[in-house]
């Protein structure tokens, strides 16, 4: 369970790593650009997730070393997974927004062109409009792909946490041949 | 050269025994088929296949499971090779291709009736081979339906001024669906479905670019697509220029050689686009496979297809 939490929380540290969603990290403007305020908010969310991780680490260590450790451990067994799940969810949310920013950045120049395209005369669409439509469709697809990917990662991470939780709550007398061999979710 | 390279990937991933077993199973299956069709089946199956689709199934299995390749996966690999050959036979009839891999196509050698009837026979045999693998049956049904729809869609949308996103949709339903199903047959959890789709898209795009390169360098390859106004990746990029779009949409009134030159001019852009798809595939493998190495090897191998 603890490993699952650490794995989930470690994602926080990788949030600043560039995602592949069509973005060029070298071309990312500084936080003072038009996306600066959003980057600031996301940075704060990242810090919050990291701080949460630290708090949960401390709570876990404290409960084990305390004289009343047994009672505290029982409570922590229930509270920690909730914290883990919240951290995982927050991480994914931040990751999604960062990915979204990268996609918009990579399409920024094209979007400006789309806005500037003159309506074509006659029935046949002009080539500029076709190109603009193609670029816009690429943007929409990338946003959709990002959402799906992040949702799948979230599902995997929560599934791992779920499985670890089931393993740790398994009754000791069911060890051996009765031990869980299945995953709760595939 | 492509074949050698696929063989080297098979060796590197340690699938040589499985491939030998697959080859033997196919030979045994052909030997047990109706005498009436055996010669045609031997012509189609016993020479020249790279077994890239079975390799994809084995690699996707290895990416999420440990241990030897189980019987059910071997069976899926056999059936995907059968169904892939059905798609080749039908494609060759539709495209009126006289040769494939340097040999006469089945309909050229045995006639269209034999080719069509043999295709039906192979499909029926494929389902029989799957026995009680219900998940496999569902996936192969999905594949055949999507391939049929994709072929009709590709034909309906020919000679139209469409874009790269349209190419992506058509290629995703055509080659993409084949590799999506391969991935699902291998991992048996659909975890790698998106990876399979990207691998198929990459394969389709590299094939498109390779054809145009062949057209430019050797005076061969890709003529059918050019003649029929099929939306390939270089075509989708080239017809953004109105001059190229005019010839593409009305080949009777234009010079196909001129259109070919427009395609050649767009090859660097097409290669860049393929690099992006390859990167999407690598990321997908790293995110969703326990062991991404076999999947990344497939991506690298496929990406090379347009570079020969």
pLDDT digits (tens, 9 = 90+) for A127-173: 788 888 899 999 999 999 999 999 999 999 999 999 888 888 776 66
Chain B's closest residue to A124, CA to CA, is B161
CB contact under 8 A, B280 and A20: yes
**Buried (b) or exposed (e) across A148-172, using 16+ Cβ within 10 A?**
ebbebbbeebbebbbbbbeeeeeee
- A179: contact with B, CB 8 A cutoff: no
- Taking alpha carbons only, the member of A12, A10, A23 closest to residue A146 is A23
> Is the predicted pLDDT of residue B1 greater than 80, yes or no?
no
pLDDT band with cut points at 50, 70 and 90 for residue B101: confident
Segment B158-174 shows an average pLDDT of 95
By Cβ distance, the residue of A134, A148, A152 closest to B163 is A134
pTM here?
0.82
- Chain A neighbors of B194, CB-CB under 8 A: 148-149, 152
Highest mean pLDDT of the ranges A62-76, B23-37, B92-106: B23-37
Q: Give the architecture-level CATH label for domain B2-205+281-300.
A: Orthogonal Bundle (1.10)
Q: What is the ipTM of this complex?
A: 0.87
Q: Distances in Å between the alpha carbon of A84 and those of A13, A27, A66, A68, B136? A: 15, 34, 22, 23, 37
Q: Least CA distance to B163: which residue of chain A? A: A134
Q: Which residue has the higher pLDDT, A124 or B68?
A: B68
Please say whether the beta carbons of B295 and B289 come within 8 A. Answer: yes
Q: What is the mean pLDDT of residues A86-94?
A: 96
Determine, for residues A127 and B245 on separate chains, whether the beta-carbon distance falls below 8 Å.
yes
Of B165, B279, B288, the CB nearest to A134: B165
Contact B164 A141 (CB under 8 A): no
Q: Does A143 touch chain B (CB under 8 A)?
A: no
- Domain positions in chain B: 2-205+281-300
- Report yes or no: B283 at the A interface, CB cutoff 8 Å: yes
Q: How far is B163 from chain A (nearest CA, A)?
A: 6
Check CB contact under 8 Å for B163 and A20. Answer: no
What mean pLDDT do residues B52-77 have? 97
CB contact under 8 A, A130 and B163: yes
Chain A contact for B255 (CB, 8 A cutoff)? no
CB-based contact B163 A22, cutoff 8 Å: no
Inter-chain CB proximity B288 and A133 less than 8 Å: no
Nearest to A140 by CA among A176, A104, A116, A173: A104
Q: Where are the domains of chain A?
A: 2-172
CB contact (8 A) between residue A138 and residue B164: yes
User: Does the CB of A123 have a partner CB in chain B at under 8 Å?
Assistant: no
Among B18-27, B90-99, B166-175, the least confident range = B90-99
Residue pLDDT, tens place only, A8-53: 444 444 444 443 333 333 434 444 555 566 666 666 666 666 666 6
User: CB-side exposure of A133: number of CA atoms within 13 Å?
Assistant: 14
Confidence at residue B220, expressed as pLDDT on a 0 to 100 scale: 44
Of B244, B239, B33, the residue nearest B121 (C-alpha): B33
Q: Cβ B161–A130 below 8 Å, yes or no? A: yes
Let me know: does B26 contact B45? Beta carbons within 8 Å: yes
Q: What would the mean pLDDT of B239-263 be, rounded to a whole number?
A: 87
Average pLDDT of the residues of chain B: 93
């Amino acid at each position: 369970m603890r490993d699952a939490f650490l794995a989930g929380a470690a994602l926080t540290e990788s949030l600043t790593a560039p995602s592949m969603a069509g973005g060029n990290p070298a071309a990312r403007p500084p936080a003072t650009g038009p996306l600066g305020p959003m980057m600031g908010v996301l940075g704060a969310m990242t810090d919050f997730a990291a701080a949460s991780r630290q708090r949960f680490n401390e709570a876990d260590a404290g409960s084990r070393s305390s004289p009343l450790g047994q009672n505290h451990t029982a409570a922590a067994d229930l509270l920690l997974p909730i914290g883990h799940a919240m951290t995982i969810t927050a991480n994914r949310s931040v990751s999604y927004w960062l990915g979204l920013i990268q996609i918009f950045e990579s399409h920024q120049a094209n979007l400006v062109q789309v806005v500037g395209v003159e309506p074509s005369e006659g029935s046949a669409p002009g080539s500029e409009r076709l190109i603009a439509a193609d670029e816009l469709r690429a943007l929409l697809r990338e946003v959709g792909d990002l959402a799906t990917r992040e949702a799948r990662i979230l599902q995997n991470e929560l599934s791992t946490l779920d499985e670890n939780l089931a393993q740790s709550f398994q009754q000791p007398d069911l060890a051996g041949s009765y031990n869980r061999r299945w995953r709760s979710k595939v | 050269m492509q074949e050698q390279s696929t063989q080297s990937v098979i060796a590197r991933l340690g699938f040589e025994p499985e491939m030998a077993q697959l080859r033997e199973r196919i030979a045994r299956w052909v030997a047990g088929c109706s005498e009436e069709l055996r010669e045609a089946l031997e012509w189609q199956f016993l020479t020249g296949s790279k077994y890239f689709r079975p390799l994809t199934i084995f690699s996707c299995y290895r990416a999420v499971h440990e241990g030897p390749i189980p019987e059910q996966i071997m069976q899926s690999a056999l059936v995907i090779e059968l169904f892939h050959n059905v798609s080749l036979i039908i494609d060759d009839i539709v495209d009126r291709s006289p040769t494939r891999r340097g040999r006469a196509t089945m309909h050229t050698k045995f006639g269209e009736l034999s080719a069509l009837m043999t295709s039906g026979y192979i499909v029926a045999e494929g389902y029989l081979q799957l026995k009680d693998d219900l998940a496999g049956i569902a996936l192969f049904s999905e594949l055949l339906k999507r391939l049929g729809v994709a072929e009709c869609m590709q034909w309906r949308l020919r000679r139209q001024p469409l874009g790269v996103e349209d190419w992506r949709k058509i290629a995703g339903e055509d080659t993409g669906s084949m590799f999506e199903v391969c991935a699902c047959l291998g991992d048996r959890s659909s975890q790698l479905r998106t990876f399979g789709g990207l691998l198929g898209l990459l394969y389709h795009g590299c094939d498109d670019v390779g054809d145009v390169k062949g057209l430019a360098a050797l005076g061969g390859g890709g003529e059918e697509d050019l003649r029929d106004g099929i939306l390939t990746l270089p075509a989708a990029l080239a017809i953004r220029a109105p001059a190229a779009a005019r010839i593409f949409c009305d080949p009777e009134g234009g010079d196909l050689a001129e259109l070919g030159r427009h395609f050649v001019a767009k090859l660097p852009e097409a290669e860049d686009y393929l690099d992006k798809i390859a990167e999407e595939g690598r990321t997908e493998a790293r995110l969703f496979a326990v062991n991404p190495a076999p999947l990344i090897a497939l991506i690298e191998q496929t990406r090379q297809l347009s570079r020969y």
